[in-house]
Amino acid sequence: MTKYVLVTILLCGLVTWLSRVVPFAVIKNLTVPKWLINFLSFVPVAIMTAIFVESLLTYHAGQWPGFNLENITASIPAILAGVLTKSLLAVVITGVIAMALLRLVGWG
C-alpha cells in the first residue's frame, strides 16, 4: 500500500467520522428548537425516498436523468412483498430473487 493510498484513507475516514459524530456532540449540548425538531422529523421519510429514487434513475451530466429499468422492474415485486408481508427480510429476498431472474432471462 502506497503512502498516497494510506493518507487518502485516513483523511477520508476523518471527514466521514466528523460528519457522523459532530452532530451528536452539538445536539447533546444544545436545546434543540422546536422548529428544528419538526424539520428533522421529516429526515427519515425524505432521505429514504431520495435514496430509493436515486437507485431508479441514472445520472448523465448535462442531461435529464435516465431510468434504471432493471431496478424499477425488480422494485415492483419487492414493494408487493412489503405490502403483503410487512417483513423487511421478505422484501430484500424477493427483490434479490427478482433481480437474479431478470438477469437469467436476459432482461437485466
Partner 1 sequence: MNAELTFKSGFKDVVPTLFGYIGVGLAMGIVANTSHLSVLAVLLMSLIVYAGSAQFIIISMLLAGSPISAIVLSTFLINSRMILMSMSIAQYFKKDSLLQNIALGSLLTDETFALSMNKINRTDHQLRPRWLHAANILAYLVWAAATVVGCLLGNLIADPNQFGLDFAVVGMFIGLLYLQIITDRSKTLKTQLLVVLFVAIAMFFLMRFFPGNIALLIATLLGCGFGMAVSPHD
Q: Does 107 bind partner 1 (CB under 8 A)?
A: no
SS3 17: helix
* Contact in structure between 108 and 102 (CB atoms under 8 Å): yes
Q: Does 38 bind partner 1 (CB under 8 A)?
A: yes
The alpha-carbon radius of gyration of the chain (Å, integer) is 20
Residue 19 CA to residue 17 CA, distance in Å, equals 5
Rounded CA-CA distance 82/65 in Å is 27
Q: How far is the CB of 87 from partner 1 (least distance, A)?
A: 8
- Residue 42 as a binder of partner 1 (CB under 8 A): the answer is yes
Least distance CB 49 / partner 1 (angstroms): 4
Tell me: does residue 37 bind partner 1 (CB under 8 A).
yes
Is residue 101 within the footprint of partner 1 (CB under 8 A)? yes
| Residue 35 touching partner 1 (CB under 8 A) | yes
What count of other Cβ atoms lies within 10 Å of the Cβ of residue 108? Answer: 14
Check binding of 69 to partner 1 (CB under 8 A). no
Shortest spacing between CB 100 and partner 1, in angstroms: 3
